[in-house]
Chain A
Amino acid sequence: MPWGKAMMWIFLLSDTFIFSCFLVGYMMVRISTTDPWPNPSEVFALEAFGYPVPLLLIAIMTFILITSSGTMALAVNMGYRRNRKLTFWLMVATAVLGASFVGMQAFEWSKLISEGVRPWGNPFGAAQFGSSFFMITGFHGMHVSAGVIYLLVIAFRVKRGFYENRPGGYEIVEITGLYWHFVDLVWVFIFAFFYLW
């Protein structure tokens, strides 16, 4: 086990606890409030073809993140095959998908803010809805943004041949991949507990 990979796993373990605390906190305030909880499938519905489609944008974001996980997994594999060109382009594709995810999240935030959703209250029900929404998705979005930067830095180093003669070689692509898959993993839990539950 290379030390870099072990360190990334330990970091991800600590991040697991941070996101768990957020989600458990959200569970606690949702259980304890006596006000009605806003129905996420209505709050996050978008109109398409004249009908409100529940969670439309959130579903698209979910598929984008899964697609980016796929391109990342392929990039790791191509890295170990020492295919620099393909590794570079797959990592860039992953970063572009990640950036579009953040863009859609920004759209979602501005839509909700324009409808009056605030961390301290909203017109659709319990005030805790806004605080959990902005904190959980904000923290996740920050992870995605950091991941995009991380991916691009490593991608351009791969392109330059920086890892060609280094001990460990293209392990770094796998380590970057661990972080990226973790971001996707957290979204699986947010999607289930915040948007669907």
Chain B
Amino acid sequence: MADDTTQHPLKIYWIMWAALFVLSTFSYATDFLDRGNLRHFLILLFMFAKAGGIVWIFMHMGWERLALKIAILGPPVAIVVLIALMSLEGNYVEDSRLEHYGESTMEVASPEHH
């Protein structure tokens, strides 16, 4: 039952912990890059690396049986379809707004720092 999770040496947790710190520092560092493909690629890369580590090591998914892995990690894949549909729809809505209302005339303020 719980025996498979009982005997983990602590070492793997320390490594994972340190890795999360390093990856978060890298994530934060992407904010100093200009917005573009490289920045977005690195944001996603560090995000998935951190998420994978948390689920696999900290949440013990790596030691669970295959049935649970499939039952829990399978369904979220469907979200990819939603993302694809909504980004198509979003671009369509933006285009039709531009066509009917024209470019935005909003005046924006720059944030002050406290």
On A, residues with C-beta under 8 Å from B are 1-2, 6, 9, 12-13, 16-17, 20-21, 24-25, 27-36, 38, 41-43, 45-47, 52, 54-55, 59, 62-63, 66, 69-70, 72-74, 76-77, 80-81, 111, 115, 123-126, 168-171, 174, 177-178, 181-182, 184-185, 188-189, 191-192, 196-197
Contacts and interface: CB of A to CB of B under 8 A. Distances in A.
A31 B45 CA distance: 22
Contacts of B97: 32-34
Contacts, number: 165
B59 A178 contact: yes
Given A32-B94, A34-B94, A66-B24, A182 B59 contact: yes
Contact of A62 (B7, B24, B98): B24
Contacts of B30: 196
Contacts of B31: 41, 54-55, 196
B68 A70 contact: no
| Closest 9 A/B residue pairs (Cβ) | A31-B90, A32-B93, A192-B47, A70-B17, A123-B109, A52-B113, A80-B6, A34-B104, A32-B90
Contact of B24 (A33, A36, A63, A74): A63
A124 B51 CA distance: 31
Interface residues of B, number: 61
Contacts of B46: 192
Nearest to B3: A80
B99 to A, nearest CB: 10
Interface of B: 1-2, 5-8, 10, 13, 16-17, 20-21, 24, 27-28, 30-32, 40, 43-44, 46-47, 50-51, 54-55, 57-60, 64-65, 68, 71-72, 75-76, 79, 82-83, 86-87, 89-91, 93-94, 97-98, 101, 103-104, 106, 108-114
A188 B108 contact: no
Given A59-B28, A69-B58, A73-B17, A9 B72 contact: yes
A62 B24 CA distance: 8
A46 B51 contact: no
